[in-house]
Structure 1
Amino acid sequence: MTIYSFYIFDRHCNCIYNREFTHLDHANASGVGQVNKNNDSNASKLLFGILYSLKTISAKLIDSESEAETAVANALKSFTIGPYRAHYLESLTRLKFVLVSDDNIDNLQAILWELYSVYYIRNVVHNGLSPIEFKQSDDFKENETVGKISNSGFITETDQFLQSLRFFN
C-alpha cells in the first residue's frame, strides 16, 4: 500500500499544487520526488477532467433534491482505475484535494480533511504573503511559481504528515 501523488485544484480548474512521490527500495529514500513540476501536464488535466465528470454524474445520481450542497459537492469520495485509487475531497470554497494511492487503500477522507483543515489553512490561508487567487500570469515562465503553492512550510509539513502514515510505503 502506498501514496503516489497529492494534487490541489483551485475553483478555476487550475492545478495549484502537485506532489509526486517516488518510492524506492531504500528505506531512507522513500518520499523523494517532485513538487509542482507537473501542474500543467496532461496527467493533471486528465485527472481534473475525470473528477469533474464523475462528480457531475454522482450529483445526478443523488435521489433527493433536498440534500445539502455539501453533500452534493462531496458525493464523490474515491474512484479506482486499474491499480490506482484517487481519493477526493472538495471544500466549500471549491478547492479540490486529491490523493492518488494504490487500490488497496479504502478511505482517505479523514486524511484529506486534515490536509485541508490543518495544513492548508495554517500555511496558505493564514499566511499574509500567500495570494488569495492563484492566477496564471500572462508572462508565466516554466520555472516561475506564479499560480502554484510554493510555501515551504506547507510542503514540508504535508510531506512529513503523509510520510508518517502507516500505509505511505
Structure 2
Amino acid sequence: MTIYSLYIYDRHCACVYYQDWHRTKGPRPAAMEGGILPAVSPAVYPRHEEPTFESASTYSSPRNTLTSSSGIVVAINDDAPRTPLPQQTQTSTSQPSALSSILTFDEESKLVYGVVLSLRNMVKKLSGKDEQFVNYKTSTYKMHLYETLSGYKFVMLTDPNADSLRFVLRQIYSGPFLEYVVRNPLMSMDSREHGIDNEYFRMSTDRMIRGLTIFQ
C-alpha cells in the first residue's frame, strides 16, 4: 500500500496546492498560465521555452542584458512565480502518444474536484444531511476527503487497499496548514491570485506523509 497524491481546494473550487509521491505517471504541466494558479506546485506550472539571446536589442527589459556570447547573464524575470520551476527534461521522440494520453494538471484537478462534488452531493441526497462523504475506492485507487468549515477540501489518492486516511488529512489541516498558512501573517489567503506558496508547509506535509506506516 502507498500514497499517490494530495490536492487542496479552496471555497472557490480552485486547486491551491498539489503534491505527489508514488505516481507512476506524473501529471503534465498546465496548458496555460490562466488554467492554474502560480505556486500550486513547481511540477505542474506551465513551462515556457527558454528565450534566445541573439541580440541584446531584441530584449525589451528595463535592465541591461548581455548576450550569451559574453558568458554573463544579468537579466532576471521579475514576473516569474515565487516557487522555482523545475528544469525541463528532454523526452524521447518515441513516446509522443504516451505523453498525449496524460491529462494536463488543470484538466486533472478539475476532474478530481468534479468527482468529489458529485459524490458528496449524491451522498447527501441519498442518506440525508447527517451523512458525509469521506472516501470511495476503485480497482486502482482510493480517494479520501476531509472538508473544513471554511470550505477547504483536502483530497488524497492512495492504494485501493488503504484504510481511511481522513484522520491524516485532518492532522495536515490542524497542524502544518494552520501553523504555516492560516496563522502566517505573510501568507495571503486570497486564492484568486496564487496558491499556497509556503515551503515550510510543503516540507512539513512531506515529512508527515513519509512518516506514516502506509507510506512505502
Give the TM interval when normalised to the shorter protein.
Answer: 0.7 to 0.9
Residue 43 of structure 1 pairs with residue 108 of structure 2: yes
Structure 2 counterpart of 1:148: 195
Q: Which has the higher strand share?
A: 1
Q: What is the Cα-based RMSD across aligned positions, in Å? A: 2.0
| SS of equivalent to 1:104 | coil
| Structure with larger Rg | 2
Q: Is the 8 A contact 1:4 1:100 kept in 2?
A: yes
- Runs of 4 or more, structure 1, over 3 Å off, are 34-40
Task: State the Cα distance separating 1:112 from its structure 2 match.
Answer: 0.8
Q: Distance in 1 between matches of 2:189 and 2:108?
A: 25
Residue 120 of structure 1 pairs with residue 177 of structure 2: yes
Runs of 5+ unmatched residues, structure 1? 25-33, 137-146
Q: How many residues matched?
A: 142
Q: Is the 8 A contact 2:5 2:23 kept in 1?
A: no
Greater RCO between the two (CA within 8 Å, min separation 6)? 2
Alignment of structure 1 residues 27-106 onto 2, 5 Å: 35-38=41-44, 40-63=105-128, 67=130, 75-106=132-163
| SS of equivalent to 1:41 | helix
Q: Match for 1:165: what amino acid?
A: L
Residue 110 of structure 1 pairs with residue 167 of structure 2: yes
Q: Match for 2:14: what amino acid?
A: N
Please list the CA deviations of residues 25-58 of structure 1 after superposition, one character each: whole Å capped at 9, or x if unmatched. xxxxxxxxx9353475211110000000001001
Percent sequence identity is 32
Please list the CA deviations of residues 55-101 of structure 1 after superposition, one character each: whole Å capped at 9, or x if unmatched. 100111224x6x4xxxx5xx010011331001001000010001110
TM value normalised by structure 1: 0.78
